[in-house]
Amino acid sequence: MDASFSAAIYLGMSVDGFIARLDGDLSWLTGGDEAGGPPDDGGGGDFGFAEFVSGVDALVMGRSTYDVIAPMAEWPYQGKPVHVLSTTLPEGADTRITVHRSFEEAVAALSAAGYRKVYVDGGRTAHSFLAAGLVSELTLTRVPVLIGTGLTPFGPLAGDIRLAHRRTESFAGGAVQSTYDVR
């Protein structure tokens, strides 16, 4: 599939490679000790997330990710167009987003809008963009916790996706962030 933009994935995950528990729970990632998550950010702040988001033109995410972000007291993507893939979310349900019924529809809309760099968020959405060969950059922040089982964006693919290591940074709390260019 062709697109006029480059897609970038930026995910937090457990050391064993999961982005959420099977029920979608993120307390291990977002909570403190009482939630079973990391005790704090270890001085990592937002691990470069705000800087990353400032460098993208738009975001695309799946419905499950949107459902986690939508109720937040402060919308984290002020000033950025947000596109949501959903077959059930009514169009116009949230003025902060544009709803697309299919992956192909979303890619066509993102291309038509003239975006150069699009942030792809959410496991199934990230997998779709990876499988379609549309991802140029992958940043993974591994949080020092093992959750045993959960959701991963790295399911079956038609072939290997080769990565070129760009950088790795470690944080005082034990999180390790690596960025790769997709070849």
Write down the domain spans for the chain.
Answer: 24-118+131-169
pLDDT score of 43: 52
Of residues 12, 97, 23, the one with CA closest to residue 62: 97
Mean residue pLDDT across the chain: 90
Of residues 81, 76, 116, the one with CA closest to residue 100: 81
- pLDDT tens by residue, 82-113: 999 999 999 899 999 999 999 999 999 999 99
pLDDT score of 178: 98
Distances (CA, A) of 183 to 50, 139, 178: 25, 14, 16
Q: Mapped to the 3 state alphabet, what secondary structure does 2-24 carry? A: CCCCEEEEEEEEECCCCCECCCC
Between 63 and 35, where is the model more confident? 63
Of residues 29, 25, 53, 48, the one with CA closest to residue 39: 29
pLDDT score of 1: 74
- pLDDT tens by residue, 20-49: 999 989 999 876 444 343 444 545 578 889
Identify residue 42 by its one-letter amino acid code: G
**pLDDT value at 129 more than 50:** yes
Per CATH, the architecture of 24-118+131-169 is what? 3-Layer(aba) Sandwich (3.40)
- pLDDT tens by residue, 150-165: 999 888 999 999 999 9
pLDDT score of 103: 97
Query: What's the rounded mean pLDDT across residues 115-127?
Result: 96
- Helix (H) or strand (E) segment spanning residue 27: helix 27-30
Query: What's the rounded mean pLDDT across residues 116-142?
Result: 96
